[in-house]
């Protein structure tokens, strides 16, 4: 059995890791870390775990935990892991971090967008960006996984095949994305109160959202060049889900014509046909958050606008599963040589 410790087990993402791993056949959670609920029963925090989880929340150190477990999940605020992680810990255990501390390779970019000083930049190169469908071969050989964010996972996977195959001009990408309220975390904030969110939709972080450089960096690797995009997130009154609608200009072929719908569909098929958790929908069917809720699936599709020579790409996922905890467990499965779908192969819940 893989012994697991979770730091931040009482946040939304941490709680989702607990829910998923409770039914994972190869894991045992031995540490429920929570600074906010020290010495309280975990089931008193999440009553859905009553008579299922009997453990007490603890607030031990990374060093203490590293000697007791095979893998640590850190579902913590930005800056926490960068402050506490070191080589000694990574020599004892594997770490899957759900924050942004090791996602960006340029520490100056991280500090600019997140407005905090990075405490362990020497570990950045060691980390592998944990977008499983793209980096699984690199993930197998690391001790530190930087688990991608929810907006970024959806945005990157939706556009990746067309960027990689140079079908679109990546510098024309515009991403209009919507997220449920759980994406903002479990902390008490006025802007996340029911009366602030209900019956409303609002953009935020316009031209400044900190997931922007993460999307640019990863799609830049696909394009083999630096790229600049527009990314605008919106908060919508639902619990879970990410929907990203992405627009880009098609590049003409050598004969001056533009890629057809069928040609683009073949490209998506080439990249995703064998991917368990990416579903390319049939022509005319658009992704919806309700059809991926509580699952590790990403639904994608596209429409070619022949009038404007642009393509509209759409992706949907559950921000707490494929956008956080589910992908983290998928990364764990890769790290330990297990089938990727182990413990996360569940059908989306509806309604």
Of 188 and 33, the structure prediction assigns the larger pLDDT to: 33
Which pLDDT belongs to residue 185? Answer: 79
Active site residues: 150
Which pLDDT belongs to residue 344? Answer: 98
Q: What is the average per-residue pLDDT within 199-225?
A: 97
Count of beta carbons in the 10 Å neighbourhood of residue 83: 14
Distance from C-alpha of 274 to C-alpha of 287, rounded to nearest angstrom: 19
Q: What is the average per-residue pLDDT within 133-144?
A: 98
pLDDT tier, 186 (very low <50, low <70, confident <90, very high otherwise): confident
Summarised one tens digit per residue, pLDDT across range 15-51 is 999 999 999 999 999 999 999 999 999 999 999 999 9
pLDDT tier, 191 (very low <50, low <70, confident <90, very high otherwise): confident
* E strand map for the chain: 2-7, 27-33, 71-74, 94-97, 128-129, 144-146, 174-179, 202-203, 230-235, 242-249, 278-280, 298-305, 310-317
Domains identified in the chain and CATH numbers: 2-126 (3.40.50.720), 151-319 (3.30.360.10)
């Amino acid at each position: 059995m893989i012994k697991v410790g979770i730091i931040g087990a009482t946040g939304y993402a941490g709680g989702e890791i607990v829910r998923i791993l409770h039914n994972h056949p190869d894991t045992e959670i031995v540490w429920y870390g929570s600074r906010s609920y020290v010495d309280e029963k975990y089931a008193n925090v999440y009553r859905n775990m009553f008579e299922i989880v009997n453990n007490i929340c603890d607030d031990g150190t990374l060093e203490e935990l590293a000697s007791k477990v095979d893998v640590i999940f850190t579902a913590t605020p930005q800056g926490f892991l960068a402050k506490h992680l070191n080589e000694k810990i990574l020599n004892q255990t594997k770490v899957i971090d759900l924050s942004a501390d090791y996602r960006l390779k340029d520490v100056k970019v991280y500090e600019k967008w997140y407005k905090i000083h990075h405490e362990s930049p020497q570990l950045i190169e060691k980390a592998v960006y944990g977008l499983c469908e793209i980096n699984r071969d690199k993930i197998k050989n690391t001790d530190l996984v930087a688990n991608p964010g929810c907006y970024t996972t959806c945005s990157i996977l939706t556009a990746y095949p067309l960027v990689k195959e140079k079908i679109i001009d990546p510098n024309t990408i515009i991403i209009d994305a919507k997220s449920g309220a759980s994406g903002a975390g479990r902390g008490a904030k006025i802007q996340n109160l029911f009366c602030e969110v209900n019956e409303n939709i609002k953009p935020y972080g316009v031209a400044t959202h900190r997931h922007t450089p993460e999307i640019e960096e990863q799609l830049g690797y696909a394009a083999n060049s630096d790229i600049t995009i527009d990314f605008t997130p919106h908060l919508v009154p639902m619990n879970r889900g990410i929907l990203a609608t992405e627009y880009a200009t098609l590049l003409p072929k050598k004969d001056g014509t533009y890629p057809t719908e069928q040609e683009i569909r073949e490209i998506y098929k080439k990249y995703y046909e064998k991917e368990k958790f990416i579903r390319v929908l049939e022509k005319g069917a658009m992704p919806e958050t309700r059809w991926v809720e509580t699952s590790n699936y990403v639904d994608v599709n596209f429409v070619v606008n022949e009038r404007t020579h642009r393509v509209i790409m759409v992706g949907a996922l559950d921000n707490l599963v494929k956008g956080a905890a589910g992908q983290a467990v998928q990364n764990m499965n890769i790290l330990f040589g297990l089938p990727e779908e182990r413990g996360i192969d569940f059908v989306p819940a509806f309604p």
